[in-house]
Chains A and B, each alone.
Chain A
Amino acid sequence: MRKGLFRTMAWTNIRNNRRFYVPFLLTIILTAAMFYNMCSVSQNPAFTGKEAIAMVLAFGVYVIGIFAVIFIFYTNSFLMKRRKRELGLYYILGLEKRHISVIMVWETLFLASSGIAGGILAGLLLDRLMFLAILKVFHYPVSVNYRIDPFAIRTTLLVFFAIFVLVMLYNIFSIQKSSAIELLQSQNTGEREPKTRWVIAVLGIVCMAAGYYLAVTTDNVMDALTKLFIAVLLVMAGTYCLFLAGSVALLKMLKKRKKYYYRTNHFVAVSGMIYRMKQNAVGLANICILSTGVLLVISTTVSLYAGMKDIVIARHPTEISVTFSDSSPGQNQLLEKALAETAEEIGVTLKNYSSYQSLALTFVERKNALLADSEVENPDAVSYDELAAVTMISADTYERMTGEALKLTDNEVAVCHEKGKLEETFQMMGETYTIAENLEKFPVSNEMARMTSDWYNIVVSSDEKLAEIDKMQKEIFTYPSSLRYEVQFDVEGGEKAVNALYDRLLQKLDETEGMPLYLVGNRYEFRTQNYLMYGSMLFLGIYLGSLFLMATVLIIYYKQIIEGYEDRDRYVIMRKVGMDKREIKRSVKSQIIILFFLPLGTALMHCAVAFPLMRQVLQAFYMNNTLLFAGVTVIVAGIFSVCYVLVYSITARSYYHIVS
């Protein structure tokens, strides 16, 4: 009988507070469904053997798991804060703490069972859709078979059950700890005006400025990758500090300016905002950082995915390329022979054929000289800004590829570069060279150029000179490079012909004796791999992005409602004192708008500042199309903003409903 009573009480509690519990339950269902899906997809036998994908997807499972813990706890604390008063009342009415604990257990049981069951059910329904979507973005040809994954179900049950046990223990513990009076008054405590914390405010400004400075000034890819991490940490710290202390400091400064403060539209807004910021700073900073993360992750992964064509062309200008390292002319001839034979066997013709020998080196550029790593005193301390990527070919190769003859004597060179600092006469590995000619175009691509701030494409006088330089660099460099012989060509007959030729050529080279170190590139295979790699990143990006968006939505919703209840009394008083309904509505609106659009605005600003840095990072992945990246970023930001505004307007309605 008594047990039944507590169960009924728990059920009534949930029903009476459904304004709070329904969104919470929906969140649990969605999070559990997403967890199940990610788990089941990562376990799908279609991906066995694809380590990279399995890893990315498994990473996704962990992220969602951790996120679920944080998020359910966060929401629970919202709910508990509101409920303490009612629990205190039970206590006064004669329920013992252990009875209240029993009610809590029942409540958790109701919530957890319906949430987890609903989540797994939704997960099962969505599973097929998810898998189809994945195959679509991966360009991965596999038949879809619908399956129920018992492992994923078990994991989901276990993880979420554990989370709820923790939540329940936490709730019971916090009730055991507090007295009845505390429970009853918990909602009326702590309306103190916050103090201005100047140190934190200043720290916030410094962190933010430093992070922004890093993002804007970095101008080479290697630096970008390392500095990205530091910049992210700095900006995160700066965001928290500024939201926490900076906002209050600013508002208090406004309050001190009496002429400004004591004006009808500033008075209520400024003092109201001080309290709102005090209560919401952390939540708002969370929203801001989540939003920034969503925007950056989605815009970069979408750009990588959308720019795949460009990336593939940049990496593989021709359909097939063969690279020999430090090969002899005899070996080069063997390659050409093997190639001609293979083409004949398969019955395809080659086109756009070109072959050349080149030497690619990375130098430290100092005082008009190109230095090898061993020539610098402390090579580990060299900054990436000092590096120059150099690609060299001979005048003969140049003439063969472009049809243009260059007359160069022994130490004369022709140079093609964009922004290098070398003067007409310069040093390279101790020897002096003179620039005889500046070239507009260069027939060979400079692979390392996108990683360093300076780059030079150099034509030296002869093949012998190139061999001489190669010999020299092998002696001087601690990590020497090799002279490369490269053959590039397209194949008549498209992808099928290319793949057939590629397979046969590999076989042939493998069979041939006395081959040097070689590398065969196939544009289509590269493309397939990239689709898998960037596809799984895109998938994860969008998946986590929508998860974060959901979190943002829920935080906004709860904030609105709680604000609403707190503000109601305040506006009743203001009305009595002589503030009119329209003024109240206007003042509420402006505060709420500032409050909820501050994180979005800041997130957009972060993204704008991060843009140059992210562009560099993308270049590390051969994605050079800045315009595409800009376009994608703008579209992603636009869609995100629309979602945000939508959520705002829906929740704002329930807020006004409470206030008026």
Chain B
Amino acid sequence: MSLLEVTHLKKVYTTRFGGNQVTALKNVNFSVEQGEYVAIMGESGSGKTTLLNILAALDKPTGGDVKLNGKSLSAITEKELSAFRRTNLGFVFQDFNLLDTFSLEDNILLPLVLSGCNYSQMEERLNMIASKLAICDILKKFPYEVSGGQKQRAAAARALITRPKIVLADEPTGALDSKASESLLKLFSDINADGQTILMVTHSTKAASYAKRVLFIKDGEVFHQIYRGEMTSEEMFEKISYTLTILTTGGELHA
């Protein structure tokens, strides 16, 4: 059984006065296995963010189903939803989404506090994660006192501290310079090597080239996918670039 199964996912937005209907996702099918590192690519407006929001249970699909660990997201009641999100999913966002009124330490601990963990357990997990992500010395600082790369590390730590089944990352390198991006992507590869499943939405070829598998979305459907197999990052990068060119020029692909 796959960790995440997406079948016939459909999402239609209706404009406010009910005039126009916009189809964001037409028919999306894919699955993610335990321990995978998947990148989803697509142009702006291709439905990436909608897909991620539905996977994150922040939005409800119009049709189709998402199963995490065999459990359908639509079967979860509104009340259980937040707890479900906390325990099963970890989030990394493009704009970090750290709370400026909390120190990095408190930002990282937030999901655990919300779950009602006891403090000694929190401390133990925090120390482990902080040393892994090399942010031990900035834990007491506030978000406005550290660089973008450090913020994103803290955000990653917040996502990982609950030991989620899957980490969902939305353009995690979008607001970072190339050096910070590279180090964050290396970090993702490392934690993936430790067995953490990661699903990343991006339109950076560079970011996607670190993933083990890349899915391409166009017009609300999965258009193509590339498995990394034995390829190096450079080879992967080239292949993704090639696919993107085809994608934008509108040609047919036969893989």
Q: Does B158 touch A at the CB level, under 8 Å?
A: yes
CA distance A192 to B101 in the complex (A): 8
CA distance A267 to B107 in the complex (A): 11
Q: Does A193 touch B at the CB level, under 8 Å?
A: yes
Are B85 and A578 neighbours in the complex by a CB distance under 8 Å? yes
Are A262 and B85 neighbours in the complex by a CB distance under 8 Å? no
Interface stretch of the complex, out of A269-277, A626-634, A651-659: A269-277
Are A570 and B116 neighbours in the complex by a CB distance under 8 Å? no
A264-B113, A264-B114, A570-B101 in contact; A576/B91 too (CB < 8 A)?
Answer: yes
Say how far B49's CB is from chain A's closest CB, in angstroms.
13
Are B82 and A583 neighbours in the complex by a CB distance under 8 Å? yes
Q: Does A258 touch B at the CB level, under 8 Å?
A: yes
Question: Which residues 570-608 of A sit at the B interface, judged by CB distance below 8 A?
Answer: 570, 573-581, 583
Say how far A258's CB is from chain B's closest CB, in angstroms.
5
CA distance A573 to B93 in the complex (A): 10
Are A191 and B100 neighbours in the complex by a CB distance under 8 Å? yes
Are B101 and A577 neighbours in the complex by a CB distance under 8 Å? no
Are B81 and A580 neighbours in the complex by a CB distance under 8 Å? yes
Are B101 and A272 neighbours in the complex by a CB distance under 8 Å? yes
Q: Which residues of B contact A580 (CB under 8 A)?
A: 79, 81-83
1/0 contact string of B98-112 vs chain A (CB within 8 Å)? 111111001001111
Q: Is the interface of B mostly helix, strand, loop or mixed?
A: helix
Q: Does B119 touch A at the CB level, under 8 Å?
A: yes
Question: Which residues 460-477 of A sit at the B interface, judged by CB distance below 8 A?
Answer: none
Are A259 and B142 neighbours in the complex by a CB distance under 8 Å? no
CB contact between A263 and one of B81, B86, B110, B113 (< 8 Å): that residue:
B113
Are A191 and B114 neighbours in the complex by a CB distance under 8 Å? no
Say how far A188's CB is from chain B's closest CB, in angstroms.
9
Q: Which residues of B contact A263 (CB under 8 A)?
A: 113, 116
A191-B101, A191-B144, A262-B119 in contact; A577/B113 too (CB < 8 A)?
Answer: no
Say how far A301's CB is from chain B's closest CB, in angstroms.
44
Are B97 and A259 neighbours in the complex by a CB distance under 8 Å? no
Question: Which residues 272-297 of A sit at the B interface, judged by CB distance below 8 A?
Answer: 272, 274-275
Are A577 and B110 neighbours in the complex by a CB distance under 8 Å? yes
CB contact between B119 and one of A193, A258, A264 (< 8 Å): that residue:
A258
Q: Which residues of A contact B222 (CB under 8 A)?
A: none
Q: Is the interface of A mostly helix, strand, loop or mixed?
A: helix
A-B contact count (CB 8 A): 69
Q: Which residues of A contact B83 (CB under 8 A)?
A: 578, 580
Number of contacting residues on A, CB 8 A?
24
Are A274 and B101 neighbours in the complex by a CB distance under 8 Å? yes
Say how far B171's CB is from chain A's closest CB, in angstroms.
14
Q: Does B58 touch A at the CB level, under 8 Å?
A: yes
CA distance A258 to B112 in the complex (A): 14
Say how far B155's CB is from chain A's closest CB, in angstroms.
10
Say how far B244's CB is from chain A's closest CB, in angstroms.
29
CA distance A258 to B82 in the complex (A): 24
Question: Which residues 170-202 of B sit at the A interface, judged by CB distance below 8 A?
Answer: none
Say how far B47's CB is from chain A's closest CB, in angstroms.
19
Are A573 and B99 neighbours in the complex by a CB distance under 8 Å? yes
Question: Which residues 249-270 of A sit at the B interface, judged by CB distance below 8 A?
Answer: 258-259, 262-264, 267
A271-B101, A573-B97, A577-B158 in contact; A264/B82 too (CB < 8 A)?
Answer: no
Are A583 and B114 neighbours in the complex by a CB distance under 8 Å? yes
Are A262 and B101 neighbours in the complex by a CB distance under 8 Å? no
Are B109 and A271 neighbours in the complex by a CB distance under 8 Å? no
Q: Which residues of A contact B98 (CB under 8 A)?
A: 573
Q: Does B122 touch A at the CB level, under 8 Å?
A: yes
Chain A residue nearest in CB terms to B88:
A578
CA distance A573 to B142 in the complex (A): 16
Say how far A264's CB is from chain B's closest CB, in angstroms.
5
Are B109 and A262 neighbours in the complex by a CB distance under 8 Å? yes
Q: Which residues of A contact B106 (CB under 8 A)?
A: 267, 271
Are B114 and A578 neighbours in the complex by a CB distance under 8 Å? yes
Q: Which residues of B contact A573 (CB under 8 A)?
A: 97-99
Q: Which residues of B contact A192 (CB under 8 A)?
A: 142, 144
Q: Which residues of A contact B115 (CB under 8 A)?
A: 264
Q: Which residues of A contact B103 (CB under 8 A)?
A: 193
Q: Which residues of A contact B100 (CB under 8 A)?
A: 191, 570
Are B101 and A275 neighbours in the complex by a CB distance under 8 Å? yes
Q: Which residues of A contact B142 (CB under 8 A)?
A: 191-193
1/0 contact string of B139-182 vs chain A (CB within 8 Å)? 00010100000000000001000000000000000000000000
Are A577 and B91 neighbours in the complex by a CB distance under 8 Å? yes
CA distance A274 to B103 in the complex (A): 13
Q: Which residues of A contact B113 (CB under 8 A)?
A: 262-264, 267
Q: Which residues of B contact A193 (CB under 8 A)?
A: 101, 103, 142
Q: Which residues of B contact A576 (CB under 8 A)?
A: 56, 58, 91, 93, 97
Are A267 and B110 neighbours in the complex by a CB distance under 8 Å? yes
Q: Which residues of B contact A570 (CB under 8 A)?
A: 99-101
CA distance A574 to B58 in the complex (A): 12
CA distance A577 to B116 in the complex (A): 14
Q: Which residues of A contact B99 (CB under 8 A)?
A: 570, 573-574
Say how far A513's CB is from chain B's closest CB, in angstroms.
87
Q: Which residues of B contact A275 (CB under 8 A)?
A: 101
Task: List B residues at the A interface (Cβ < 8 Å).
Answer: 56, 58, 79, 81-83, 85-86, 89, 91, 93, 97-103, 106, 109-116, 119, 122, 142, 144, 158
* A267-B114, A577-B111, A578-B114 known, 13 other contacts, Cβ within 8 Å: A259-B119, A262-B122, A263-B113, A267-B110, A271-B101, A570-B100, A574-B99, A574-B110, A576-B56, A577-B97, A577-B114, A579-B114, A580-B81
Task: List A residues at the B interface (Cβ < 8 Å).
Answer: 191-193, 258-259, 262-264, 267, 271-272, 274-275, 570, 573-581, 583
Can you show 19 pairs from A to B with CB atoms below 8 A apart?
A: A191-B100, A191-B101, A191-B144, A192-B142, A193-B101, A193-B142, A262-B109, A262-B119, A262-B122, A264-B114, A264-B115, A267-B113, A570-B101, A577-B86, A578-B85, A578-B86, A578-B89, A579-B82, A583-B114
